[in-house]
Chain A
Amino acid sequence: MRTSLVWMAGGLTSAALTPTALASGWNMPVGVTALSRDIYSLHMIIFWICVIIGVIVFGAMFYSLFRYRHSRGAKAATFHEHTSVEVIWTAIPLLILVGMAVPATATLKNMYDTSEADLDIMVTGQQWRWRYEYLGEEVAFTSNLGTPREQISGTDEKGEHYLLEVDEPLVLPVGQKVRLLLTSDDVIHSWWVPDLAVKQDAIPGFVNENWVRIEEPGIYRGQCAELCGKDHAFMPVVVEAVEQERFEEWLAERKEAAAQEAQGVDREWGMDELMERGEQVYGSVCASCHQPDGQGNPPAFPALAGNQQMLDDRDWHVDTVVNGVSGAAMPAFRSTLNPVEIAAVVTFERNAWGNESGDSVQPSEIAELLEKDE
């Protein structure tokens, strides 16, 4: 008993008392928003309340254990109730709780006030990546895990931001109130960045709201917090907060790139460039389920290498990628990938890992298909 108490006391002290321990990631981060600081202070207040109550209760208990030992010849008293004492120790905790509820309520109200945002971002969870859409700006992209598989399997040395790095971070302006609208294409995910004190479930069929006003430029890392299937550990969130000016530049660059990509839809693409682009898309979007070697993981994720149905029926193949499979894990990629990416990845799948259909799909075909459906 004594051991565990010393241990706990040691743990608690190093967690809460020493500033170095705070800095080295033993405690909740203070964060970089007004709300994250409010939440941090609520956390510390309730923590210290618990510590004080703990010292009193365990103090009384260990005093009794030491002082009234049978082996010291202690004779037991006979009292077994005391109404006023019982009333007091019911009432005092109640008062403490009321005192705690007041600031907690104020903070919560603030967290729920998503009105008057300067910028709206649609955040969509997908197995296992995040998609960000800057509403009204026509900028949207998918953010995938940036850590190479070799680091996960241990063949390569792990980098500094192992599992907390992405190919494209969410870029946000500092000082602006950014409203996040969260939803999901498949299962429930949860978008979480500790430094921003934002954690909100992304639920299929629902749009949740949260907001953030970042005060300091920097890179803030988090990850999915709701079990969402096998790669739950591998869908990080990275937010890059930049000055407003830099943000506008970045937005303009993204718009330009999107326009260029749109032009690519109309021209004829060669087999090699489709394959090259397709391999890229496959690696970041498809490989987590269907595996880098196309062998899949049946029964949930069928093999693509040597998949006869897929090779025989090109239209079915395109339709599966565009519209997904209802009632199964395969998502619809019509809104996630652009026509160039869809055409490229289908072409790649039809001609990789020993698949020899020899045919290709042109971005213009996909664009036509998507338009027809709308």
Chain B
Amino acid sequence: MASTLPPKPTPEHSTATAGGMAEVGHARPRGLMRWLLTTNHKEIGSLYLIFSLSMFFIGGIFALVVRAELFQPGLQLVQPEFFNQMTTMHGLIMVFGAIMPAFVGLANWMVPLQIGAPDMALPRLNNFSFWLLPVAFALLLSTLLMPGGGPNFGWTFYAPLSTTYAPPSTTFFILSLHIAGISSILGAINIIATILNLRAPGMRMMDMPLFVWTWLITAFLLIAVMPVLAGVITMMLMDINFGTSFFNAAGGGDPVLFQHLFWFFGHPEVYIMILPAFGIVSAIIPTFSRKRLFGYASMVYATAAIAILSFLVWAHHMFVVGLPLVAELFFMYTTMLIAVPTGVKVFNWVATMFRGSISFEPPMLFALAFVVQFTVGGFSGLMLAISPADFQYHDTYFVVAHFHYVLVPGALFAILAGAYYWLPKWTGHYPHLRLSQWHFWLSVIGVNLTFFPMHFSGLAGMPRRIPDYALQFADFNVASSLGAFLFGASQLLFVLVIIKCVRGGEKAPAKAWEGAEDLEWSVPSPAPLHTFETPPDFHPHRH
């Protein structure tokens, strides 16, 4: 593979013009205080990314506990109580601790660089949003050590299992989720303020790179739905500690109300975790196809359409709770509609590659794998939308396969693609090619070995969230468990790649990839601490 890659641009070709200002001004704090007090978007971006990577490994270890128990039928390693805590914590940590902060980290690093801004619009707020996260997740993880254990009711924490029947630590879980939610809202406000106010002179909205566009829309989704999550967990808090009965039928409350509120947050949340991924892939595919993105405008409209539809589909998670027929039909139709803008995106990526000049550097490998595997997840999503069939799919491993295809070989692969794409900009070095390729191939094999058999175990009748299962599901589970350990172990290679890349390696010029176009490639590699102190000269592409 290495021999087929085109030569990389050499430092002499560097086109760095803007940025690269010398460090100026007052003495900066050193050591730990430097990181605690930093207001620099690049440093905060790195903090977010490192935090998310550590959470990814913690959540991954929890997943491996689950997969180890499920390797064979019977209870071998853990008891059901602990198993339920592991599935719950795995979901919570991966969603709120790994995937979301990774995208915020990428936004922190890249949004100012891509729009030619000197920093985020609200740098101190930026520092605060980040440092809320370690507090939130330290609190969440500490619940595992409390009497009665941590959250054990699934990451969707349906009432009344999560209220009347929950362990005492649930109040701490609620508090930690509140803190993480505040962090997300503040981060979203900052991103919106930055994008709307700090674009380089001459950059219209329709000139912005798609990563910026998708993040702008994501930030609005966050502001719209995080308060709903805050509301629903506050109602839980009241039910648990102050004797209210929002979700307690015996007191006149409604357990189904919980699900409506949760999924009104939860479904846009799903798109919060995938829209920025679309943005990353929309940057990488044109770069390595050496051809402009096909259908820029329709990409923007499709993203907006998905965001709007995301508010109208929440009850497709609730097809078997006994909704009225009319509601069932409405949510089936709106959910099917989402396939249209999502399809447009996939078609546009393929059309970008068509008649391009394609090479297969590591970011491109991950982006291509994203397109295929995300589409597989999209297909199972379309199947799940068919409400009558969902009566069979619902709450089975088919659903587990579906959302993992969208989130792991989907969102996570896009994050990895983004990391490989921008590592030269962050560190000044190219990631080690051989190791990157090993990381890619082992990840692809591992991820598909883990999640593809879950389609079959689900269709065959295996419910999700069970620590023990009937014998006919045994073979699928052996494959899934082996795949999970392969996938988990191969992520250690990623850490190795990053460490090597930070320490040295082949030097990257400002424009690290031949076909790269956006503004971040006009500043030197590694990007100096302060960039675009004077606005860059921006020449629109005329999309």
Contacts and interface: CB of A to CB of B under 8 A. Distances in A.
Contact of A39 (B292, B389, B543): B389
B322 A208 contact: yes
A233 B396 contact: no
A225 B396 contact: yes
Interface string B308-331: 000000000000111001001100
Given A77-B291, A153-B75, 16 more contacts: A27-B459, A39-B391, A58-B372, A68-B353, A69-B359, A104-B332, A105-B329, A152-B468, A163-B470, A201-B322, A203-B322, A206-B256, A222-B461, A230-B152, A231-B80, A233-B468
Contacts of B16: none
A177 interface: no
A26 B148 contact: no
B87 to A, nearest CB: 8
A200 B320 contact: yes
A50 B383 contact: yes
A230 B298 CA distance: 48
B443 to A, nearest CB: 10
Contacts of A164: 470
Given A71-B4, A158-B73, A327 B322 contact: no
Given A154-B76, A225-B463, A3 B445 contact: yes
A81 B206 CA distance: 15
Contacts of B191: none
B383 A204 contact: no
B438 interface: no
A8 B353 contact: no
Nearest to B72: A154
B467 A71 contact: no
A54 B379 contact: yes
Given A112-B325, A205-B250, A46 B386 contact: yes
B354 A57 contact: no
A5 B322 contact: no
A8, A42, A70, A154: residue with the most chain B Cβ atoms closer than 10 Å: A70
Interface in A150-170: 151-154, 158, 160-164
B158 interface: yes
A351 interface: no
Q: When A and B form their complex, which 4 residue pairs have the shortest distance between CB atoms, in order from nearest?
A: A205-B249, A233-B466, A208-B322, A50-B379
Contact of B346 (A15, A46, A57): A57
A100 B291 contact: no
A186 interface: yes
Given A4-B444, A57-B347, A299-B168, A101 B332 contact: yes
B290 A70 contact: yes
Contacts of A208: 321-322
B245 to A, nearest CB: 10
Interface stretch (B104-112, B137-145, B181-189, B337-345): B337-345
Given A64-B354, A100-B336, A329-B165, A39 B74 contact: no
Contacts of A162: 73, 470-471
Contacts of B292: 78, 80
Interface stretch (B261-269, B363-371, B423-431): B363-371
B227 interface: no
Contact of A101 (B6, B336, B358): B336
Contacts of A246: none
A35 B320 CA distance: 15
Contacts of B354: 60, 64, 68
Nearest to B325: A112
9 contacts: A58-B375, A61-B372, A70-B357, A74-B355, A76-B289, A104-B389, A108-B329, A299-B148, A326-B250
Contacts of B320: 190, 199-201, 225
Interface string A46-90: 110110011001101100110011110011111111100110011
Interface string A214-234: 000000001111111111111
B350 A205 contact: no
A186, A188, A224, A231: residue with the most chain B Cβ atoms closer than 10 Å: A188
A250 to B, nearest CB: 26
B154 interface: yes
Nearest to B384: A46
A198 interface: yes
Contact of A203 (B256, B376, B465): B256
B376 A108 contact: no
Contact of A70 (B332, B350, B359): B359
Contacts of B147: 299
Contact of B340 (A94, A158, A194): A94
Interface in A296-352: 297, 299-300, 326-329
A225 B391 contact: no
A15 B380 CA distance: 14
A93 B470 CA distance: 39
A152 B391 CA distance: 29
Contact of B444 (A3, A69, A85): A3
